[in-house]
Chains A and B, each alone.
Chain A
Amino acid sequence: MTTQRRIENIALTAITLIAGLIWIFPLYWAFVTSIRSETRVVADGAGLLPDEFNLSSYFDALFNTSLIHWYINSIGTSLIITVIVLITGMMCAYALSQMRFFGRKVLYGVVLASFMVPVQSLVVPQFVLMNDLGLINKWGGIILPQLVVPVVIIIYKQFFDAVPKELKEAVVLDGGSDYTLLFRVYLPLNWGITTALGIITFIMAWNSFLWPFLVITTEDMMTIPVGITQVNDAFGVAYARIMSVALLAAAPVVIAYLIFQKRVTEAVMISSGVKG
């Protein structure tokens, strides 16, 4: 019985890992392609195994495209979006969770309702607004419409609601204000959720395509996801270089994910509300 169980487990592990390797094959194939020469890539009989180590397309990708600009734009805008979304979200969530004020229920209703609105349906007026504000082709134009992330407020509020009342009373007796409470008690108690929401917001901002694609038209101002679509026009059909650009574009998030994978896993679970 136990030996049968063990064999079963080994088999299951093997099957799952093989399936995983097949699943990740596109990334492997992109890598193999990227380190081949352009002629080798389209040659007959080029097998599935890496058989060349040619970094020239990576140099091409780095120095003959605006990749460096796109990195800077993506990192800059995603970081700013993450910080502002977290700070405004936690402040609003704290007020909703711990304070009693006129219109509180209405505000929470609005937050919940806006969670349902697909922002994609707002792109036309948002574009007009950014145009009126003179933010087309500016970081501000990329950032502003991405700052409303109601789910951050909803999750923060759930966690703030769960903080024991006794902690609050002690601080209030010492004459602490709500700001002290938020930044000295509620926030430190919930660092885990802050990291989780930060990771999720950053990934979403880094990967967002439609909005940056609409609001940016000059190549130097593009973010990574938008910028790399330009290389097809620049290189033509040159798959080694296209794959090099794609992998370089993907590298920062993939590496960050591999380093922080436990936290990312947790972040997805927490921010979807499945794991409390």
Chain B
Amino acid sequence: MALIRNKKRHGLIALSLILPFLAIFALVFAYPLYEVIRLSFTDAPLIGEGNWIGLENYIRLFSDRLFYISIKNNAYFVVLTVIPTTMIAMVIALAVNRLSGRWQALALVLFFTPYVLPVSVVTQIWAWMLDFQFGVLQPVFAFFTGKPVPVFKNPYWVLPSIAVVTIWWTNGFNVLLILAGLRNIPTDLYEAASLDGATRRQLFARITWPLLWPVTALVLTLQLILQLKLFDQVYLLSEGGPFNSSYVLLLMVYREAFQLNHGGYAAAISLILFLLIAVVSVLQYQLLRIGKGKDT
């Protein structure tokens, strides 16, 4: 009897511990997840009920030119950011890792500070640096192309420029992850290998690179997911333009839902974005695991 009461009490305590999270989770996560699926089959406006229209939103979406432009731009942006930022972060982390105490701390501050800035501060600063008339970086463009370039109003430059801004802003985070990975590698491995006469290139290829691979894979995966969710920088710097050359999926969700009042259609796009991210991240995770198996 006492045992049963105890068990019941144990259950109640457990319930009281998980309930706060569970209640919030149900309200602002699980319910909206169900709603986004349901709404995607209706023609609902942003606020208010719509009618069940089956797969119509999806049929419309797959014949919407803007949808394909967005996907293409999302993919292009991923290419422009994910591997470049990982490589840059690795070079910086390898360099920082070899500095001693105080200099290391200083270097980290210099490379990491942009990461703690709000996105709109970052975009304001870069909009000024790249200002067509007065931007401090325009002489650089003038040097290479012969004339200043209105980068955020130029279909060729807009996504690469936003990629540069994004890498500048978020790279410090990747540097820290890779640095943590480097610190996890036992130093006696290097000592032993050096005693055997390994060159520095061999040390990197045989010890650093393979042992760092789990962290590299983590950075690549996190970056891929993050960059697919691109919205803030594009909205603030180019609003998807010019001529939709920086239009991306999340911007499409925003436009459809909050400016054109197409809640149902926006829900369908959201769901596609969600599925895209889920599929791509699982695929990449698997691929990277295979890559690891081969290398080590």
Q: Which residues of A contact B (CB under 8 A)?
A: 9, 12-13, 15-17, 19-21, 23-24, 26-27, 29-30, 33, 41-42, 48, 84, 87-89, 91-92, 94-96, 99-102, 104, 107, 110, 114, 116-129, 131, 144-145, 147-148, 153, 177-179, 182, 203, 206-207, 209-210, 214, 224-226, 228-229, 232, 239, 242-243, 245-247, 249-250, 253-254, 257-258, 261-262, 264-265, 268-269, 272-275
Contacts and interface: CB of A to CB of B under 8 A. Distances in A.
B276 to A, nearest CB: 9
Contacts, number: 264
A21 B111 CA distance: 9
23 contacts: A12-B95, A23-B110, A24-B113, A26-B114, A27-B114, A27-B125, A84-B24, A89-B21, A91-B17, A92-B21, A114-B29, A116-B277, A118-B277, A127-B46, A210-B250, A225-B118, A254-B116, A269-B177, A272-B218, A272-B222, A274-B184, A274-B215, A275-B183
Contacts of B113: 24, 27, 254, 257
Instruction: Give the size range of B's interface with the partner.
Output: 35 or more
B108 A261 contact: yes
A92 B270 CA distance: 29
B267 A99 contact: no
The 5 closest A-B pairs by CB, nearest first: A20-B110, A125-B35, A225-B118, A125-B32, A269-B180
A122 B32 contact: yes
B121 A246 contact: yes
Contacts of A119: 29
A109 B150 CA distance: 49
Contacts of A116: 277-278, 281
A202 B29 CA distance: 20
Given A228-B124, A261-B108, A13 B99 contact: yes
Secondary structure at the A interface, as helix, strand, loop or mixed, is: helix
B140 interface: no
Most buried by B among A26, A177, A249: A26
Contacts of A23: 110-111, 114, 168
B291 to A, nearest CB: 18
Interface of B: 10-11, 13-15, 17-18, 20-22, 24-25, 27-29, 31-33, 35-36, 39, 46-47, 92, 95-96, 98-100, 103, 105-114, 116-121, 124-126, 128-129, 131, 133-134, 136, 168, 173, 176-177, 179-181, 183-184, 215, 218, 222, 225, 228-229, 231-232, 236, 250, 253-254, 257-258, 263, 266-267, 270-271, 273-274, 277-278, 281
